[in-house]
């Protein structure tokens, strides 16, 4: 994929005075208008073509017209140029390609998580991106399952909460309210700034599916 024709028109539509509209198929030849959109960021990533060969893909990031997002695209740097990622991928033995493909796609996945959580820790609102961590709610499976790149399986956290969440020392109720492990005394939690009153705002129904799995591991562990 290249920034030509339709891809170029989408990327540069604001500069060129063009408008983008989102429609949803209703079936039988009918569509429903959803919203007018604005492109605010793009990125490139390695993906597969119809023959299974690795190629460059393009990911567009849109927002509803008029919506304000504190977007900072300049802060996002790819792990390595996409062309180098593809070249490195093609040199690997076939048996290693599955896991490496998901790794070299992480740059776009990370950006999606950052945009999804509006550039701040989901728990505290801390917004220094260079310190935040995109955590998986449910650990990635060994094989190439959809969970590996599912944006609803990601959450943006500050380092303290990420470490506790990954070790299943905290979890969250469907309401977003934090759950503390009994393996750590309350005074110890307070020493690292965890009060037990924290709440995640903005969880959606798909986040809750993964969060339910995380809570199961939380209660099994503690």
Q: Are residues 89 and 175 in the same domain?
A: no
Q: Pick from 108, 133, 148: which residue ends a domain?
A: 108
Mean pLDDT, to the nearest integer, of 198-214? Answer: 94
Q: Where a domain ends, among 54, 89, 108? A: 108
DSSP state of 122: T
Q: What confidence tens digit (pLDDT) does each residue in 96-142 have?
A: 332 222 222 456 777 788 888 988 999 999 988 888 888 888 876 55
Predicted TM-score (pTM) of this structure: 0.64
Residue-number span of the structural domain to which 151 is assigned: 117-222
pLDDT, one tens digit per residue, over 32-71 is 999 999 988 887 766 777 887 777 778 888 888 988 776 5
Q: Looking at residue 70, what is its pLDDT?
A: 66
State how many domains the chain has.
Answer: 2
Q: Do the beta carbons of residue 122 and residue 202 sit within 8 Å?
A: yes
Question: Are residue 103 and residue 121 in the same domain, yes or no?
Answer: no
The 10s digit of each residue's pLDDT in 11-43 is 899 989 999 999 999 988 899 999 999 988 887
Residues 121 and 222 in one domain: yes
Three-state DSSP class for residue 124: coil
Taking 3-state DSSP, the helix, strand and coil percentages for the chain, each rounded to the nearest 5, stand at 35, 25, 40
| Final residue belonging to a domain, choices 108, 142, 170 | 108
Residues 87 and 155 in one domain: no
Q: Return the beta strands (E) in the chain as ranges.
A: 20-27, 30-48, 54-64, 133-136, 154-157, 170-172, 178-180
The answer to whether residues 33 and 1 belong to one domain is yes
């Amino acid at each position: 994929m290249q920034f030509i024709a339709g891809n170029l028109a989408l990327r540069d539509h604001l500069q060129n005075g063009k408008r983008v509209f989102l429609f949803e198929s209703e079936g039988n030849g009918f569509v429903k208008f959803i919203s007018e959109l604005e492109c605010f960021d793009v990125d490139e990533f390695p993906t597969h073509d119809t023959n299974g060969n690795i190629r460059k893909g393009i990911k567009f990031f849109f927002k509803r017209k008029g919506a304000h997002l504190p977007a900072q695209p300049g802060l996002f740097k790819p792990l390595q140029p996409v062309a180098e990622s593809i070249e490195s991928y093609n040199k690997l033995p076939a048996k290693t390609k599955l896991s490496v493909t998901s790794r070299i796609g992480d740059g776009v996945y990370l950006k999606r998580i950052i945009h999804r959580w509006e550039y701040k820790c989901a728990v505290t609102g801390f917004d220094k991106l260079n310190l935040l961590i995109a955590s998986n709610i449910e650990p990635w499976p060994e094989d190439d399952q959809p969970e590996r790149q599912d944006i609803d399986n990601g959450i943006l956290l500050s380092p303290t909460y990420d470490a506790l969440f990954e070790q299943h020392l905290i979890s969250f109720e469907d309401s977003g309210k934090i759950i503390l492990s009994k393996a750590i005394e309350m005074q110890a939690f307070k020493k690292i700034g965890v009060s037990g009153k924290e709440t995640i705002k903005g969880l959606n129904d798909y986040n809750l599916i993964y969060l339910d799995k995380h809570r199961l591991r939380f209660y099994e562990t503690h």
